[in-house]
Amino acid sequence: MRRALVLLPPFLWLLLLVAAPVVILLGIAVSEGAPGVPPFTPAISLQDGWRGTAQNLLTLAQDGYYAAALLRSVLVAGVTATLCLLLAYPMALGIAAAGERWRVLLLALVLLPFCTGFLPRLGAWIGLLRDGGWVNGVLIALGVTTEPLPLLYSDGAMYLGMVHAYLPFAVLPLAATLLRRDMSVEEAAADLGASPWVVFRSVTLPLSLPGAAAAFLLVFIPAAGEFVIPELLGPPEALLVGRALWGEFFQNRDWPLAAALAVALLALLIVPIRVFQGLDEGGSRRGASPPARGPGERPGMSK
């Protein structure tokens, strides 16, 4: 009874804020568009009963426009998560190796961007990367180029903004995992003559894989549906699912099709989550301690 009371608040929280919105989204996805507010006919009516349709989901499967948006969003999210992970590892290792006082300061510096609004940070990148910005000014002054480079509204600017926005989400779980690792294993490997790179590759990296998986997902999931950064920094032809959703919701006012696109994105994001869960479960089984043997019993002998 006490266990049920403890689990009830988080269960209600997930039910109201996770399950209920997904059910509403699915209901809109199988509805038909219609003039009015809201601009669709509900899939279930007290008078007519069920009158839903799968036409919106079929449209997503048949129209290459939406498939291209989903695939490009997954690609952008994967590249962003990978870059964040590569940058987060040395930062997390430095935080874990620092003393207690410096560790708090370094963690505060990682969280410092959250003290500033999201849009002002993007505005700062626009000012730095525009034709008359500081970056082009420095490049021209150094003689690297004689005219401004098209840095803004490019894939590079988009990835730069994405990595800057989501890097703390990769550093924090990775640093937490590295802080909990058993340093004696690394010290033993170093005492046996392993170089720092071999110690990292054979000991530190495997021990930090759960934190790396969490860091990758914490960046990948929100980056897959990002709209603001690609819109402000990316190229005009960058077709991402966030832009497609915005167009269907607010320009075409086709809520059922937009909801179907959101459901497709949600289903697509479940795949990497399940993959990482499987890897984590496999690693846990491989890392489980072998059963205790009796006195004088050799490995491979059964009782």
- Going by pLDDT thresholds of 50, 70 and 90, the confidence category of residue 300 is very low
Pairwise CA distance, residues 278 & 42, whole Å: 38
What architecture is domain 22-282?
Orthogonal Bundle (1.10)
Q: Which positions ≥6 away from 25 have C-beta within 8 Å?
A: 259, 262, 263, 266
HSE-up (13 A, CA, CB side) for residue 259: 26
Question: Among residues 135, 284, 144, 145, which one has the least CA distance to residue 206?
Answer: 284
The pairing of beta strand 44-45 with beta strand 49-50: antiparallel
Per the DSSP assignment, residues forming a β-bridge with 50 are: 44
- pLDDT (tens digit, 9 = 90+) per residue, 76-87? 999 999 999 999
> What pLDDT sits at residue 167?
94
Helices (H), 204-299: 205-207, 209-224, 228-233, 241-246, 255-286
Pairwise CA distance, residues 240 & 224, whole Å: 8
* 245 touches 29 (CB < 8 A): no
- pLDDT (tens digit, 9 = 90+) per residue, 257-277? 889 899 989 888 888 888 777
> What pLDDT sits at residue 279?
63
Q: Which of 37-41, 138-142, 192-196, 234-238 has the highest mean pLDDT?
A: 138-142
Say what the alpha-carbon torsion angle 293, 297, 301, 303 is, to the nearest 10 degrees: -70
- Going by pLDDT thresholds of 50, 70 and 90, the confidence category of residue 47 is low
- pLDDT (tens digit, 9 = 90+) per residue, 120-140? 999 999 999 998 889 999 999
Per the DSSP assignment, residues forming a β-bridge with 32 are: 41
Q: What is the mean pLDDT of residues 3-7?
A: 84
> What pLDDT sits at residue 255?
87
Residue 295 has pLDDT above 50, yes or no: no
Pairwise CA distance, residues 44 & 48, whole Å: 7
Residue 33 has pLDDT above 70, yes or no: yes
Residue 106 CA from chain centroid, whole number = 23
**pLDDT more than 90, % of the chain:** 26
Q: Which residue has the higher pLDDT, 132 or 302?
A: 132
